[in-house]
Amino acid sequence: MQQRRIGRTDLTVSKICLGTMTWGQQNTEAEGHAQMDLAFSRGVNFLDTAELYSIPPKPETQGSTEIIVGNWMKARGNRDSVVLASKVVGRTSNEWFRGGRPSKLVRADILDAVEKSLKRLQIDYIDLYQIHFPDRLIPWGSNPTRIANEPGKRAEDETPIAETLAVFDELVKAGKIRHLGLSNESSWGAMRFLNESDKGIGPRAASVQNAYNLVNRTFEINLAEVCEREDVSLLAYSPLAQGYLTGKYDHGARPEGARTTLFNRAQRYETPYAAEAHLAYNELARNFGMEPALFANAYVTSRWFVTSNIIGATSIPQLEMALASADVTWTDEMQKAVDDIHQRVGNPCP
């Protein structure tokens, strides 16, 4: 499988990354291990997890995914062949991460997070340690098509980016992490992190992990230029729009055992006119003789600005299809057809 470099680092990763967030709730530990075995046998070398996982977040399963990943690496003895990414939560009122209090991107909370992740993962260092979401009060995903908050609305105790970066500098120097990544970040936020690091404060952000898929191409509006000019890699998550680009929810269907059926957490992909957009892309895939899930993943993997496509699956057949997308030849005809729909429907699910 083709490999690509993350930012200006020495990390070289497969163009498909195996996402892990279902392991510990929708998937058992054995199923997670089976997924990792299959993905790595097909050339994947990149795993993405987080202290938040498994999903949906709750105190009794928080950190379960990192435990599963850690047990797998220990059992296989393959830490040196795994590029491992994890994440620290940003500002959150959920109190179970820090033992009974809210969390922010301050020194005590970041240090607490990384030590707990290292213990669960049973490793000495994390290759790419990402800020899961900002400390700032901004819409989830950071790239809305309309502003959601009042102009200038900020938390009184907002943590300065330079302060957060200084903590990551400590972690790099201590050898606990190798590189810094951002996630759910905006163009302004990414540039502020880069500007501070260019002034000598903390490590330079190597990547940004944002949602990118057929119904959310907001990355292209501003962040694509930032990332291209600043050598910051896009790690694209949610290529299937939480399953809506598989076709399984077409016409209002709710299959038994599917994530939206189980958890009612897909509001990002249930916006006005989103269903029509999902259906249009899913029918387009079928017109090209492809399963919608294969088509949607192939689209993301094929983009020149995507360093790695973070796939997710709850079954081996789903994983097989996601991995197969790496071998799809994306044609100009496919791109034109996708762009024709996008011109009509825009980004209904930012």
DSSP 214: T
pLDDT, one tens digit per residue, over 330-349 is 999 999 999 999 999 999 99
Residue pair 239/210 in contact (Cβ under 8 Å)? The answer is no
Pairing of strands 306-311, 16-19: parallel
Please compute the mean of the pLDDT values over residues 292-317 and round it to a whole number: 97
Cα separation of 248 and 257, whole Å?
11
Short-list 94, 129, 99, 100, CA closest to 114? 129
Give me the pLDDT at residue 147, please. Answer: 73
24-33, 173-182, 249-258: the lowest-pLDDT one:
249-258
Residue 186 confidence (pLDDT) above 70: yes
- 136 vs 105: CA distance, rounded Å: 10
Q: Which of 120-129, 145-154, 174-183 has the lowest mean pLDDT?
A: 145-154
State the greatest distance between any 2 C-alpha atoms of the chain, in Å, as a whole number: 54
Distance, in Å, from the CA atom of 238 to the CA atom of 46, rounded to the nearest integer, reads 16
Q: Is the pLDDT of residue 168 over 90?
A: yes
Query: Band of the pLDDT at 144, cuts 50, 70, 90?
Result: confident
- pLDDT value of position 266: 67
pLDDT band for position 51 (50/70/90)? very high
| DSSP code at position 208 | E
Structure tokens at 142: 């950071």
| Token output for 315 | 């079954």
Position 237 confidence tier, pLDDT thresholds 50, 70, 90: very high
Sole residue written with tokens 């502003």: 147
Place of tokens 């003895």: 77
Give me the pLDDT at residue 152, please.
64
The pLDDT value given to residue 259: 76
Computed over every residue of the chain, the mean pLDDT equals 95
Contacts for 12 with CB less than 8 Å, ≥ 6 apart: 3, 4, 5, 6, 83
Structure-block tokens of residue 16? 């498909």
Query: Higher confidence at residue 154 or residue 115?
Result: 115
pLDDT exceeds 70 at position 74: yes
**Crossing angle between the packed helical segments 187-198 and 161-173, to the nearest 10 degrees:** 60
* pLDDT of amino acid 148: 62
DSSP state of 79: G
CA–CA distance, 92 with 66 (Å, rounded to integer): 20
**Three-class SS state of 90:** coil
CA distances to 13, 54, 95, 153, 183 from 83, rounded to whole Å, are 7, 20, 30, 38, 17
Top pLDDT among 328 and 143 is at 328
User: What single DSSP character describes residue 27?
Assistant: B
Domains located in the chain, CATH noted: 3-244+304-329 (3.20.20.100)
pLDDT at 255: 77
Q: Is-contact 331 338, C-beta < 8 A?
A: no
Angle at the Cα of 109 (from 103 to 114), degrees rounded to 5?
A: 120
Residue 45 DSSP code: -
Q: What is the mean pLDDT of residues 57-78?
A: 97
Q: Which of 64, 74, 77 lies closest to 28 in space, CA to CA?
A: 64
Whether residue 326 contacts residue 16, with contact meaning beta carbons closer than 8 Å, is answered with: yes
46 CB-contact burial (10 Å; exposed 0-12 / middle 13-18 / buried 19+): buried
> What pLDDT does 128 receive?
99
| Active-site amino acid positions | 53
- Which tokens hold the place of 154? 């900020």
In the numeric block, the tokens 């429907």 are attached to 345
What average pLDDT does range 226-238 have in this prediction? Answer: 98
Portion of the chain with pLDDT greater than 90, in percent: 89
